[in-house]
A and B are shown apart, each in its own frame.
Chain A
């Protein structure tokens, strides 16, 4: 066999291997989508779309069961939104500190610390929330609701605990993505701003951060995705009863709904849990499509 022929075989073999791997990933996405839709839609037929999505009563095992997941959807939305509102400013300011304010030596300490934060498994966050946050929340709850006739005491497992845990969990994502996009802002822009007499802080807020906007938004959207999809940590701290998402209520999210009831659910109850999964899946898909759009915009901006 000539060298040329050998080369040809290697070339085409490599090509097929790469193609196969790519197909595998696409296949996974497609089959998951098909599966979720196939498994998640029967309950909509059996229970009724509006009854399922907008019903507020969750009694799946009652003699006359009702499968309303409105409070669960609301809890997921409110919990995610609140944790993003809390986590994004902190994350953004940390990113600004890392890239613009701190000296190289300090950044060398803070940056790895934040990366470590991302590496901690979510169950550890849950454990810490359970051991530290919940007792603290219970103390607060007892002071705030002392003598209340209507409040159901939850022992500190509530929405606030979940939001705090989520806010910490999305920090590394927001910090890392924001920091790298702030770093990518060209030096000339900063220099021009300074030359016009703007102070350092003015430059940061009026020039650098706006210039890095699309990258920062990407970080925010990634953070939303992380918060929405988190299950383990908040399952441990949120209490798990289906309630309106008020700060001191025990709440259940779309993710924790699946985690906690999948084990023994049967019949329509099981079907509804798949529908809950489908709702979560649609949310995540929307978030990711948004992300793709933002990335495209960012590329176009740079070009």
Chain B
């Protein structure tokens, strides 16, 4: 009797291991999540798709390829999802290789659009890349409401985040320890912030929080705290500091005066009007009402 149970148990175990390893083999999780997300979008947006768009969409088929900045992942995912809803026969593929690598592939002609989360360099422009700014990313530096410091220079801000300045009285404030709050490694806001201040991976954070809301709440409730969040989420519970005398506002960012902002560029070889119709359809979609609302929905600023 006992032997038999053992045998059965062994058989069950073996079967499970086999099935388990089968399940473990394919790395399908990414596709499933995007498919699920697309499914949700489909149900909400199907009703909004106009007839004109569907007829237009029927005529175009093919592939649009993008590559470049990892910071633009959120934008590209949302945009390509919406785009493929409208143009069902066009496939959009996006690779996240980094701004420089994306522009290199563009110049070599292996992709249609090169993504860059910075302005194009002169060299890149000379090679024929055209800078199409589709959105602007702005980051605000915030403190709790009782802080008397209203303005910081870029240098002071970098000193605070690298741990060279640890008390507000060193930079003209009250005698209050600075609680340095930031985001977790991998966050786009964090990489943009550190990149723009040129303090990549040199920061010493007292707290690393994993979402914007938590940063906002922590800064609001902790005396002496400093943090950074996307510009669009600022509310009355915190103070947004001006940097080098420039206030953190959409107008200043669009005008290019505010330090902690960067353009999201979808570069093409030659003007958009010279591109094939698939790429033109992509930029039409980005400029459409739907495309623009995708940009603002993920917290980015529309360029003028």
Q: CB within 8 Å of B: which residues of A?
A: 23, 26-27, 29-35, 38-39, 58-63, 131, 134-135, 138, 142, 149, 152-157, 235-236, 239-242, 250, 252, 259-261, 263-266, 269
> In the complex, are the beta carbons of A31 and B206 less than 8 A apart?
no
CB contacts under 8 Å to A, within B187-214, are 187-188, 191, 200-201, 204-210, 214
**Number of interface residues, chain B, beta carbon within 8 A:** 41
A35 to B223: give the CA distance in the assembly, Å.
Answer: 45
> In the complex, are the beta carbons of B210 and A235 less than 8 A apart?
yes
| Closest-CB distance, B62 to chain A (whole angstroms) | 28
> In the complex, are the beta carbons of A155 and B181 less than 8 A apart?
yes
Instruction: Write the chain A residue with the least CB distance to B16.
Output: A30
Instruction: Write the chain A residue with the least CB distance to B8.
Output: A19
Give 15 CB contacts A-B under 8 Å.
Answer: A30-B13, A38-B21, A38-B24, A60-B186, A61-B191, A62-B201, A142-B177, A155-B181, A155-B207, A155-B225, A240-B207, A260-B208, A261-B184, A264-B187, A266-B186
Residues on the A chain within 8 Å of B16, using CB: 23, 26-27, 29-31
A11 to B24: give the CA distance in the assembly, Å.
Answer: 36
A160 to B112: give the CA distance in the assembly, Å.
Answer: 54
| Closest-CB distance, B142 to chain A (whole angstroms) | 14
B147 within 8 A of A: no
Instruction: Write the chain B residue with the least CB distance to A59.
Output: B201
A34 to B13: give the CA distance in the assembly, Å.
Answer: 12
B34 within 8 A of A: no
A27 to B9: give the CA distance in the assembly, Å.
Answer: 11
B40 within 8 A of A: no
> In the complex, are the beta carbons of A155 and B185 less than 8 A apart?
no
| Closest-CB distance, B10 to chain A (whole angstroms) | 11
Residues on the A chain within 8 Å of B251, using CB: none
> In the complex, are the beta carbons of B206 and A239 less than 8 A apart?
yes
Q: CB within 8 Å of A: which residues of B?
A: 12-13, 15-17, 19-21, 23-24, 70, 96, 163, 166, 177-181, 184-188, 191, 200-201, 204-210, 214, 218, 221-225
| Closest-CB distance, A201 to chain B (whole angstroms) | 45
A61 to B16: give the CA distance in the assembly, Å.
Answer: 37
> In the complex, are the beta carbons of A263 and B186 less than 8 A apart?
yes
Instruction: Write the chain A residue with the least CB distance to B17.
Output: A30
A31 to B210: give the CA distance in the assembly, Å.
Answer: 29
Residues on the A chain within 8 Å of B185, using CB: 58-61, 261, 265, 269
* A63-B200, A250-B206 known, 11 other contacts, Cβ within 8 Å: A33-B20, A34-B17, A34-B21, A135-B221, A154-B206, A155-B179, A155-B224, A157-B207, A240-B210, A266-B70, A266-B96
| Closest-CB distance, B197 to chain A (whole angstroms) | 15
> In the complex, are the beta carbons of A154 and B179 less than 8 A apart?
yes
Partner pick for B208 among A33, A39, A239, A263, CB 8 A cutoff: A239
Given A27-B16, A30-B13, A152-B206 contact (CB < 8 Å): yes
**Which 9 pairs from chain A and chain B are nearest by CB?**
A31-B20, A264-B186, A30-B16, A260-B210, A153-B177, A62-B201, A34-B20, A155-B222, A155-B179
> In the complex, are the beta carbons of B201 and A63 less than 8 A apart?
yes
> In the complex, are the beta carbons of B20 and A26 less than 8 A apart?
no
Residues on the B chain within 8 Å of A134, using CB: 221-222
| Closest-CB distance, B80 to chain A (whole angstroms) | 18
Instruction: Write the chain A residue with the least CB distance to B219.
Output: A155
A242 to B207: give the CA distance in the assembly, Å.
Answer: 9
> In the complex, are the beta carbons of A156 and B20 less than 8 A apart?
no
Given A30-B13, A30-B16, A60-B186, A153-B166 contact (CB < 8 Å): yes
Residues on the B chain within 8 Å of A263, using CB: 184, 186, 210
Given A63-B201, A264-B187, A266-B186, A26-B207 contact (CB < 8 Å): no
A33 to B16: give the CA distance in the assembly, Å.
Answer: 11
A209 to B17: give the CA distance in the assembly, Å.
Answer: 43
| Closest-CB distance, B154 to chain A (whole angstroms) | 21
